[in-house]
Structure 1
Amino acid sequence: MEFLLNIMVEALKFFAFFGGYGWGIIWLTVAVNLALYPLTLASIKSMGAMQRMQPKMQDLQKKHKDDPKELQKATMDLYRSEGVNPVGGCLPMLLKIPFFLALFWAFQSTAFLEIASNPANNTSFLWINGRVSITAFASESLADKLAAAKLIVLDHAATDMGKYYVWNVVAPVDTKKLKDLLWTVDAHRVDDIKKVREGLAAAVPGISDDDATNIIIAWNATNSLAKPERVMTPFGPLSILAILVGISTYFMQKTMPSAGAGQQAQMMTLFMPVFLVFICWNFPAGVQLYWLVSNAVAALQQYFIMRKA
C-alpha cells in the first residue's frame, strides 16, 4: 500500500504543474477515467443488454417462482445465450477503488502535508484557500512562542479582530511533530483536546490553555485539500463538495441503463446520493473533489455511449 500511496503523491505532483493541486486532482481524475474507458464502455453495454433482458427475466421469474434452483439455472442459461456477463457492469467501479483509497491515504500522509504547507505550492482551489490560520487571544506573544519552538513559521502581520489576533501559517518547520500534534485531532473530543494541550505545552513553553485550545479549533476549521471542506452558512458549517457529490451521484444514476425500474431500484436511486453525502462529509476536500469529478466524467461517458447505442 505504501508503494501505491507514493505513486499517487508523485502523480499529484506531476498534474499539479497544470494549474496547482486543485486542478491536478481534476486532471488525475480525468486520466484515470480515460485509462479505464474501454472497461467502462464494455460495462455500460453490459448494463444495457441486461436492461433489454428484463422482459425475459420476468418471464423466467413467473415460470419458476416456486423453484429457486431452477430459476437460478434458467437465469444463467439466459445470460449465456445472450452473451452477457452479470458482473460485467461492476468491473470499472472495482478497479477505481484502489485509486480512491490511494488518494485518500495520500491526503492523510506526511508527504502531502509537507506539500500543502509549502507556500511555493498552489494548494488553493475555488473557495478552498489552502492556507492555515491560527487565531489566538490577546497579544502577539503566542506567535513568538510558536516560532521560538520551531513548530511553524508565521506571518507576523497579524490581523486585529478585537480581542482576537489571526496569523497565517507560512510553513511548519517540523512537519511530523505538527502532524502528530494537530493533523488528526478531533476538536470535538475532550480526550483529543487534552492530549494536544499537553503536547503543545511540552513543545511551546509558556503557552496557555486558551491559546492551545484556539490553535486546535483554528487548525480543524482550516480549509485545505487535505482536510474536510467546510463553508460557513446561515445553517452552520456545510461541506459543499460533499453535497455536490450527492447531487452528481443522483444525476449519474439517471444516465445509467437500469436493470430494473421497480420500487427498490427507485429507492436506491434516492437513497444512495444521500448516503454518500454523509459518507463524504468528513473526507479530505481533495478526495471529495476527486469523487465529484469522477461522477461528472462517468456521467458524460455514459451519456455519449448511450447516444451511440
Structure 2
Amino acid sequence: MSLDWIYYAISWILLTWHSAWDAIGVSIEAVLGTNWSWILAIIFLVVTVRVILFPVFVKQIKSQRAMQALQPKVKELQEKHKGDRETLQKEMMELYRKEKANPLMGCLPMFLQIPVFLGLFHTLKRLNPANQGKTLYGWTVDQFNSASSAKLFTAPISGRFGSTADELAGLGASGNTTKVIAGVLVLIMIATTYLTSRQMILKTGWAEDPQQRMVQRLMLYGIPVSLLVSGSIFPIGVIIYWVTNNLFTLGQQQWVLRKFPPLVPPKTGTAARNGAQPAKTGGLLGRKVAPAPAKPQVTTPKVAGPKPGAKPVNPKKTRPAKRQG
C-alpha cells in the first residue's frame, strides 16, 4: 500500500504554514542561526493535527471514565475467578463488550498520529542540499532548496544525533553543534513523553484491569526508554514535532482533567460500613453533582433522673440496722 497520500498531505500542511509565516515577514534567515519560518511550520503542523484529533481526544477521556466506572465490577471478577486467568479474561471482555468500553481507547490518539510522524520523518529525510534542483511531493524547487538549508541554531532540521561525518558535511553543518542540539532535544523529548503519561495516571489512578495496567506501564516507562535508542535516528525537525506535540498534550490534558475531573472512587471499609455515600458524578465525564442531604438520625430521648428530694418510684427496702448489745 502506497503512503504517498500521507507524504503529500504532510507536505501541503507544512508548505501552507511556511507560506503563511513568509507572508507576515517571518523569513529572516540569520536570527540565532535559525530559519524560523520552517521551525514554526513544523510547530503549527502539530497544532493542525491536534485540532483535527480533538474529538478523538475527548472520546479517549470518555473511555477512560467508562473504564474507571467499571473498576468495582472488574475487581469482583478478579476475586471470583482468582487463579483462572483464561476465564477472567473472557468474563472481562464480555463486560467491556456489554458496557461498550474499550481498554485500548487510551492509545488511539497516539496511533492516529503515527502516520503524521512517519510522513514528516520520510519528508525530512529527503531534504539535502546535495539534491538542489529537485522537488518533493508538490514542493517547488525554491521551497525544496529553502527547506534543505533550514537550520535550528545552525543545526540542519534534517540532521540527526546519529548522522555520520559525511552526512553532516553534505548538509554543510558542524558535527559537534548538530549532536549537541539533537541530544538536548532527545532528552527533552524523553522527559515530556514521560510527563504526559504520568500526568494522566496521577489524575485517573492505576487501572485494576491487568491488561490496561500493562498498557499504562508501557506508556509510562516503555516508550520513554525506547526513545533513548530511536531518538538518535530522528531528524531534528521530527524531534521538534514530538516535543511540541508533548507540550500540547500536557496543556490539553490539564485543561480537560480540570474541566472534567476523574470519577470519585466508591468508599470502602469503615466508611462503607458506617453508611457514608460517595459523591455522585454526572455521566462519564465526571461532572460533580451535589450529594443528597443525609437523613437525620432518630435517637431515643434520654429519661431525666428524679429531682433532688423527690420520692423514688420503686424504693428499695432497707434492712434495719443490727442492734448492738
Q: TM-score, length-normalised on structure 2?
A: 0.58
Shift of 1:102: 0.7
Say whether 1:254 aligns with 2:198.
yes
Map of 1:289 onto structure 2: 240
User: Which of 126, 145, 148 does residue 118 from structure 1 map onto?
Assistant: 145
1:4-45 Cα offsets, whole Å, 9 max, x none, are 212322321111132411010000111101100000111122
Aligned length: 224
Cα distance in structure 2, aligned partners of 1:267 and 1:94: 14
Mapped pair 1:187 → 2:138:
no
Aligned to 1:96: 113
Give how far 1:55 is off: 3.8
Q: Which has the higher strand share?
A: 1
Residues 135-168 of structure 1, C-alpha deviations (whole Å, 9 max, x = no match): xxxxxxxxxxxxxxxxxxxxxxxxxxxxxxxxxx
**Please, which of 200, 208, 231 is the counterpart of residue 180 of structure 2?**
231
CA distance in structure 2 between the partners assigned to 1:270 and 1:66 by the alignment:
28
Q: Which amino acid aligns with 1:89?
A: G
1:282-307 Cα shifts (integer Å, max 9, x gaps): 21111111111111112221111111
**In 2: Cα distance, 1:116 partner to 1:239 partner:** 28
Q: Structure 1: 5+ residue runs without aligned partners?
A: 133-181, 189-214, 233-237
- 1:9 lines up with 2:11 in the alignment: yes
Distance 1:120 1:64 in 2: 59
Among residues 198, 205, 223, which one is paired with 1:272 in the alignment? 223
TM superposition score normalised by structure 1: 0.61
Any idea what the Cα deviations from partners look like across 1:262-284, whole Å, max 9, x if unmatched? Answer: 99656862443232232112211
Q: In 2, are the aligned partners of 1:115 and 1:121 still within 8 Å (CA)?
A: no
Q: Please point out which of 57, 62, 86 is paired with 1:45.
A: 62
CA deviations on 1:161-209 (whole Å, 9 max, x unpaired) are xxxxxxxxxxxxxxxxxxxxx99x9637xxxxxxxxxxxxxxxxxxxxx
Q: What amino acid maps onto 1:295 in structure 2?
A: N
Residue of structure 1 in register with 2:287 after alignment:
none
Q: 1:103, CA displacement in angstroms? A: 0.7
Structure 1 position 72 matched with structure 2 position 74: no
Task: Quote the residue 1:144 is aligned against.
Answer: none
For 2:125, the equivalent position in structure 1 comes to 108
Q: Structure 1 residue 29 and structure 2 residue 56: aligned?
A: no
Q: In structure 1, which of residues 216, 222, 227 is the aligned counterpart of residue 173 of structure 2?
A: 222
Instruction: Determine helix, strand or coil for the equivalent of 2:103.
Output: coil
**Corresponding residue number in structure 2 for 1:142:** none
Aligned to 1:244, which of 170, 188, 191?
Answer: 188
Unaligned runs of 5+ in 2: 27-36, 128-134, 261-325
The answer as to 2:80 corresponding to 1:63 is yes
What is the distance in 2 between the residues matched to 1:304 and 1:131? 31
Larger displacement relative to structure 2 (41-50 or 111-120): 111-120
User: What code does the residue aligned with 1:104 have?
Assistant: F
Aligned letter for 1:231? V
Matching of residue 306 in structure 1 with residue 277 in structure 2: no
Q: Which residue identity is paired with 2:185?
A: L
Using the alignment, how far apart are the partners of 2:9 and 2:174 within structure 1? 25
User: Identity of aligned pairs, percent?
Assistant: 30
Question: Mean alpha-carbon deviation: is it higher for 114-123 or for 70-79?
Answer: 114-123
Q: 1:221 to 1:47 in 2, by over 3 A?
A: farther
Residue 259 of structure 1 and its aligned partner are, at CA, apart by 4.5
Structure 1 residues 217 and 26: alpha-carbon distance in aligned structure 2, compared to 1, 3 A threshold: closer
- Map 1:156-235 → 2, pairs under 5 A: 187=164, 218-219=169-170, 222=173, 229-231=178-180
Deviation per residue, 1:53-95 (Å, 9 max, x gap): 3343233122112333431232123224443123322222221
CA contact (8 A) 2:157 2:237 kept: no
Bigger Rg, which one: 2
